[in-house]
A and B are shown apart, each in its own frame.
Chain A
Amino acid sequence: MRPTRRHLLHLGLGALASSLVRPSARAARPSPDSPSPKPHGGRARACILLFMHGGASQIDTFDPKPGRDTGGEFSAIRTALPGVRISEHLPGLAQRLDRLALIRSLTAREGNHDRARYLMHTGYPPQGGAQHPAFGAWVADGRDAGALPGYVAIDTPGQGPGLLGAARAPFVVRDARRPVRNLAPTRPVAASRQDDRAALWRSLQGDFAAHHPSPHVAGHRDVLEQALTMMASPATEAFDLSRETEAMRARYGDSGFGQGCLMARRLVEAGVPFVEVGLRGWDTHADNFDRVRALSGPLDTGMSALLDDLGARGLLDETLVVWMGDFGRTPRINGRGGRDHYPAASSVLVAGGGTQGGQVIGATDADGYEIADRPVTVPDLLHTMAATLSLDPHDTRMTPTGRPISMIDGGKVIEELL
């Protein structure tokens, strides 16, 4: 019998397993002993996560409450979906809402930034010392990105790879508008010397690794090998936005977020399976409305351009695009004109990757305090994203100390999306 990936994983031969079974093959042939067969064979081969760092106000973006005390300063405008309104400061996305699914009923309990980011990226609340991988690291783990990293995080730290090891850690790009740093030595070194350095390093690293069985040592080897591969590869052109026309760059807007979206498109085109683009500054405890207005511009321009561009290139169908953040913000407006952390209700956008656009899923009550219809949990969301990307939602790995950890924390598929 040919060994399946799962068998190999049990034997600790993860690398061999992933080299044997390519993503496409895995989609066609689900592991035999998975508890329940996947109901949906997703067609997405990549995912772009737009992460609103700090937690975006849902009422001032995608879940407006016009005329209510909690509604705030903005008015709500019509969208491409009859009867659905969103913030006046998101006109571009309003026009494209027929291509997007809007979830207005995401609910969670983590109200602290770090804890909430952990939850949103892994599906688990942080718990003592457990090593849950970021969703992006899990996606990267199953797909070969060649010389490029499998998980790239632009203007955001992303989330750690947990037990999947340092090689799946996000490749962080601090600012899409500047060249990626350190791809070549600060002072030029001849190619032959570079080769000597690499060969010397491999033998020294091998000496040490032979006597020091530690995931940290193995992780460092993987990461440095990846760095060496990148240094030598022309594939890193994917990071170089100067290869785009001025007109294309302008379409995405000159913000870091807009250019990050453009970089994400280039990376996905080049075979990177998971790209996270951050937009910072949503932690609007004070002066919420001016700040959300200012953030809405880059968001609207960048995300609209991304959807159009992916669509025009025929990539949207195989690229899942998700918009989310730390948590929602309080319906109540505080004394400083701000809104505070509110994990109980927030909005999420989903597009592409074969998901069903042009719909609103769930609702909050009239003032936005409670979920009125169809609550969606973070595990539900990640479970659905996994299904879209044909990942096994029951995929379970062992920690070095033999503790099994499921890649996502259960949840149910959001059927309406697929």
Chain B
Amino acid sequence: MPVQDGPVSRTRRTSGPWWQSPTSWIGLLIGAMMGCSAADSSTLRPTPTVSAEASGPHAPLDPLDATIAEHWHAAGVTPAAPANDTEFLRRVTLDLIGRIPTPDEVDRFMTSDDPRKRAALVDDLLARDAFAEHWADVLTQTLLGGAVQERRRLREGLHTWIEDELHEGRGWDEMTTTMLTASGDTSPPGAAAFMAVHGRKNQVEALTGQTARVFLGLQLQCAQCHDDPDDRFTQDQFYGLAAYYAQTRVRQTKVDGVRVPRIIDKRRGQMRMPTETDAPGDRSGPRVTPSFPALDVGPRPDETRRQTLARGVVGSPLFAKAAVNHAWAQLMGRGIVEPWDDLGALQGTEHPPLLEHLAADLVAHDHDLRHLLRQIVLSSAYQRSSQSEAEGAAARTQAFAQAAVRPMSTDQLLRSLLVATGLQDVQGRAFRREVQTRRQRISKEYALVFDDDEMASADTLRGNVPQALLLLNGELTNQGVAARAGAVARILRDHPEPSARLDALFVRVFGRPPSAERRAELLTFVDGRDHDPEAYEDLMHAMLVSSEFLTIH
């Protein structure tokens, strides 16, 4: 994808790269920090000079950061050092647009001396097409679950619709209402995918469970068969909620030879409770009237049951909390309440002030997801370093006082591989389209996700040996490092000096130059191989299969 000109205003061009420029104090500091050897743990101590506090957008009394500080205090942890600029740039680029930064983007960010450059970068990223594309990936995955081949068209429809909605800056409340009330043939077909996938074969229980989970962060599934063991929900409450779908029928219809979902609201249809002797799916018990537990949602005469439900969902205090907790978990590795989709009961559960604060802020900003993401990525919690000594790291990470090392999603990995290897630029549009169309297959191979009758497993590279073998020996990595006009070839052509070649390779793949010590060692290595281009290919291969490349950190 083309690198757009961001609003970063004041950049300074010098003859050398930013990390060598004597006038770039940031570069010097980063270089110094990266140059620290593993044995020298003192350099891992907080280096507040390059801090979010110094260059970030927040005054010390920002209410979100104050809440975060209390959260740390309550957890009894001392926060890790602030993230340095290279850490922040790579992390936020992956999180907002789903790939690592290009060398140009690294250069531009590192040479900027704008004191508000992190905020400017975030605004730039949020305004890009790639942002809508990446967050459509994330939300589609959340809404529909694992990759299932037969539902490809529905998935793609939903993805396109979400992308458009994000472009338009539509609020999450409006998007949710559209999805819950979609009719498929008249509304954009993509918006109906949630209903069509979970409610297929008129599985009212599955649809109810997913509605509660995705939009309200409630785990109601157990209450389908029996009262929740933890006394949080009753079976009556579950079927009261399910009754909103009692008049809904999920069908498929052919439009121009293509099957599209058609979701119909009938005038009649009652929900009944299942009895002890009913088989799952059968309900021969008493009638249940629709009711939204813990919320008074009186039906209006002119609306369908689904419209009433949608009003109840977006009006629930849990709606914004679920959206916040989901986004937080995406960006921080775990939810403020973990897992993100288990917020407890419909009422009476106490949530951490951090969740309360962000949820209130989201409501105050019209459920604008961009605003929410901006708040989080510019917060003092997100802008922690992921580096520290081992001591206390787990506790700090759990309390969001140190950035987690997170696996990439398959989409993030594929896009990042294309950037790192330069296949993106080399192969042109046709290749990119080809990758797009093959993505389903490739990501299936990477994620080792199995098709199933119901939901498949989560789409992340949590790590296993088949994935490692695929990375080591698969086409994309091997083709990528050896591409005739790929990143290695270009670096060798542009930089005659071996040390400049190594620096360029590191910036390309890791978004940072090598430490002085590592550079010296690698120079010995390429010397030993007579500066054979294949030596650089081998180095890049090793970089691509290392944790530094494969994780968000």
Contact = CB atoms under 8 A, between A and B. Distances in A.
B548 A208 contact: yes
Given A203-B521, A214-B393, A160 B462 contact: yes
Question: Which among A181, A204, A221 has the greatest number of chain B C-beta atoms within 10 A?
Answer: A204
B70 interface: no
Nearest to B453: A283
Given A113-B452, A200-B539, A211-B44, A223 B468 contact: yes
Contact of B463 (A171, A197, A223, A231): A223
A149 B463 CA distance: 14
Given A285-B201, A339-B279, 9 more contacts: A112-B454, A157-B448, A166-B464, A172-B448, A201-B542, A204-B518, A223-B467, A231-B472, A334-B282
B464 A169 contact: yes
Interface string B191-208: 000000000010000000
Contact of B464 (A170, A210, A230): A170
Given A113-B452, A157-B448, A214-B404, A171 B465 contact: yes
A39 interface: no
B515 A212 contact: no
A330 B405 contact: no
Contacts of A193: 534, 538
Contacts of A340: 279-281
Question: Which among B390, B450, B468, B547 has the greatest number of chain A C-beta atoms within 10 A?
Answer: B547
Contacts of B472: 182, 185, 224, 227-228, 231
Given A196-B535, A217-B551, A224-B545, A330 B342 contact: no
Contacts of A369: 277
A209 interface: yes
Interface of A: 53-54, 109, 111-115, 128-129, 149, 156-157, 160, 166, 169-172, 174, 181-187, 189, 193, 196-198, 200-201, 203-214, 216-217, 219-221, 223-224, 226-228, 230-231, 283, 285, 330, 332, 334, 339-342, 369, 400-402
Nearest to A209: B547
Question: Which among B397, B467, B550 has the greatest number of chain A C-beta atoms within 10 A?
Answer: B467
B33 to A, nearest CB: 10
Given A157-B448, A204-B543, A220-B463, A181 B469 contact: yes
B286 interface: no
What are the 5 A-B residue pairs with the smallest beta carbon separation, nearest first?
A210-B38, A200-B542, A166-B463, A227-B468, A214-B405
A169 B465 contact: yes
23 contacts: A113-B452, A113-B455, A115-B221, A129-B334, A171-B464, A181-B469, A183-B469, A183-B473, A186-B473, A186-B478, A187-B482, A193-B538, A201-B542, A203-B518, A207-B515, A209-B547, A212-B553, A213-B394, A214-B393, A220-B468, A220-B550, A285-B201, A340-B279
A5 to B, nearest CB: 23
Contact of B538 (A197, A220, A224, A230): A197
A212 B38 contact: no
Contacts of B535: 196
A334 B38 CA distance: 65
Interface of B: 38, 44, 201, 221, 224-226, 277, 279-282, 334, 338-339, 342, 386-390, 393-395, 397-398, 404-407, 448-450, 452-455, 457, 462-475, 478-479, 482, 515, 518, 521, 525, 529, 534-535, 538-539, 541-543, 545-548, 550-551, 553
A216 B453 contact: no
Contacts of B546: 201, 204-205, 208
Nearest to B344: A128
Nearest to A217: B547
Contact of B478 (A111, A187, A201): A187
Contact of A171 (B466, B515, B538): B466
B551 A216 contact: yes
Contact of A129 (B339, B394, B454): B339
A112 to B, nearest CB: 6
Given A197-B541, A201-B542, A208-B548, A111 B521 contact: no
A338 to B, nearest CB: 9
Nearest to A278: B450
A230 B465 contact: yes
A112 B452 CA distance: 13
A291 to B, nearest CB: 12
Contacts of B226: 109
A270 B449 CA distance: 27
A203 B479 CA distance: 23
Contacts of A112: 221, 454
B388 A114 contact: no
B181 to A, nearest CB: 26
Nearest to A224: B468
A353 B543 CA distance: 45
A182 B541 CA distance: 15
A212 B462 contact: no
B386 A200 contact: no
Given A212-B547, A342-B280, A109 B407 contact: no
B465 A157 contact: no
Nearest to B391: A213
B481 to A, nearest CB: 10
A182 B543 CA distance: 19
A172 B464 contact: yes
Nearest to B468: A227
Given A181-B470, A227-B472, A128 B553 contact: no
A196 B471 CA distance: 16
B286 to A, nearest CB: 20
A204 B542 contact: yes
Contacts of A206: 38
Contacts of A129: 334, 338-339
A114 B394 CA distance: 28
A196 B538 contact: yes
A416 B528 CA distance: 67
Contacts of B225: 109, 111
Contacts of B397: 214
A166 B547 contact: no
Nearest to B528: A196
A185 B470 CA distance: 9
A85 to B, nearest CB: 24
A271 to B, nearest CB: 16
Nearest to A113: B454
A117 to B, nearest CB: 10
A400 B391 CA distance: 11
Contacts of B541: 197, 200
A334 B462 contact: no
Contacts of A166: 462-464
Nearest to B281: A340
Contacts of B404: 214
A160 B464 CA distance: 9
A213 B457 contact: no
Contacts of A401: 394-395, 398
Contact of A205 (B469, B475, B547): B547
Nearest to B539: A200
Contact of A128 (B342, B388, B389, B455): B342
A341 B280 contact: yes
A172 B547 contact: no
Contacts of A204: 518, 542-543, 546, 548
Given A172-B464, A193-B534, A334-B282, A182 B469 contact: yes
A218 B539 CA distance: 21
A231 B471 CA distance: 13
B399 to A, nearest CB: 10
Contacts of B334: 129
Nearest to A190: B534
A218 B441 CA distance: 29
B545 A201 contact: yes
B370 to A, nearest CB: 28
Question: Which among A205, A223, A231 has the greatest number of chain B C-beta atoms within 10 A?
Answer: A223
B547 A220 contact: yes
B407 A334 contact: no
A341 B205 CA distance: 13
